[in-house]
Amino acid sequence: MKRYELDTYLTKHKPKGALLYGESSFLIELYSKKIARAISDDTSNHHTFYYSEYALPAVLEILSQNSLFGDSSVVILKLGKKLGKKDIAAISQILAQNPTNGIIIEFYQAENKSPIEYSRDFKDFATNFKAAGSADFVEVRFFEPNTNEALDFMRQTAQKLQIKISNQNLLLLLSMQNNDIALAQSELQKFAILDSEVQLTDIERLCYGLCSVDVDELLDCLFAKKEVFLVFEKMLEEGVQDLDIVKEMEEYFYRLFLFFAHARFEGKIEAPKILGFAPPTHIVNAYTTRAQSIKNQNVFLHIFKIFGEWRNKIKYDKTISLQSLIKIQALIR
């Protein structure tokens, strides 16, 4: 099913099961929330499992419950690995017995999977999901929104927040966040306190890009266990300084450690308490998954020592940067 077909479907039907996948994390999350509200508008009945938290018995227990007040329960799975046929069949069977409840599966590309591998996985997943489910099961692939669609989402948010801003400045916010709509929308919220129209000077004063140096691609390679040399060399050719790369990566790993420590001592992830603000869900998911890929606090300590040595030797050792990246990558599970 395509996105426009899902829009039409939702005007007349309420799915019991939904498998959402594709290239746009923003749209996957957006429609997941929309479908969850359609099944139950009481968010206290929404039960979310993040990646490694998934356990079939726990999911089946929730879906098997019948409310005395006629409430519906929704299970939301955020996965980077497809479910097996037996799990899908068990979920389908329990929903057939409890038709007021529902399940939504957000299936994202895992960091250790290539786009081709992910495509193969979601096609298999979708086939098994539809085969095991009923007519009330839907599977939808979401492609990245084009510029006009992204602008429409930004405009909707601006109108909801009663923010006066030109399309040109909305596009600027998108560009500053590498066209990540969710992040750009978070930035847009900063202007809700203004009475006048948002000007370029306001954006320059209040907003920042994803980071002063874009290390996202380098981090992606690092955690996916892919070759970092070419990405690193490309950054140097573009004029990025080694010291700036160290600074951004060290700050990123510090945030990962905060996620690791909070999960260990509190038993759950609470991004607003950790970071001081509420980032988009897919950003929280990335921090959570990557924090779990660091075995323990001693490994974090080792990584921070590598950063320290990297900074100290960077002025006279031209090979220290690549050596440090390789060492850090070896410590990631």
β-pairing, 17-22 vs 137-142, is parallel
pLDDT score of 27: 96
The pLDDT-based confidence of 59 (bands split at 50, 70, 90) is very high
Q: How far apart are CA 26 and CA 186, in angstroms?
A: 13
DSSP state letters, 109-160: --TTS-HHHHHHHHHHHHHHHHHHS-TTEEEEEEPPP-HHHHHHHHHHHHHH
pLDDT score of 214: 66
Q: How far apart are CA 208 and CA 114, in angstroms?
A: 30
Q: How far apart are CA 105 and CA 123, in angstroms?
A: 14
DSSP state letters, 36-57: HHHH-S-GGGEEEEEGGG--HH
The pLDDT-based confidence of 70 (bands split at 50, 70, 90) is low
Percent of the chain exceeding pLDDT 70 equals 95
Residue 205 has pLDDT above 90, yes or no: no
User: What digits encode the pLDDT tens for the residues 292-327?
Assistant: 999 888 999 999 999 988 988 887 787 888 999 999
Is CATH 3.40.50.850 the right assignment for the domain spanning 3-142? Answer: no
The pLDDT-based confidence of 211 (bands split at 50, 70, 90) is very low
Q: How far apart are CA 122 and CA 143, in angstroms?
A: 13
- β-sheet bridge partners, residue 76: 48, 104
- β-sheet bridge partners, residue 21: 107, 141
Q: What is the CATH number of domain 216-331?
A: 1.20.272
The DSSP call for residue 224 is T
Q: Which two tokens stand for residue 256?
A: 């990962």
Mean predicted lDDT score pLDDT of the chain: 88
Residue 262 has pLDDT above 60, yes or no: yes
The contacts of residue 202 (CB under 8 Å, 6+ apart) are: 191, 194
**For the whole prediction, is pTM greater than 0.85?**
no
Region 173-185 average pLDDT: 84
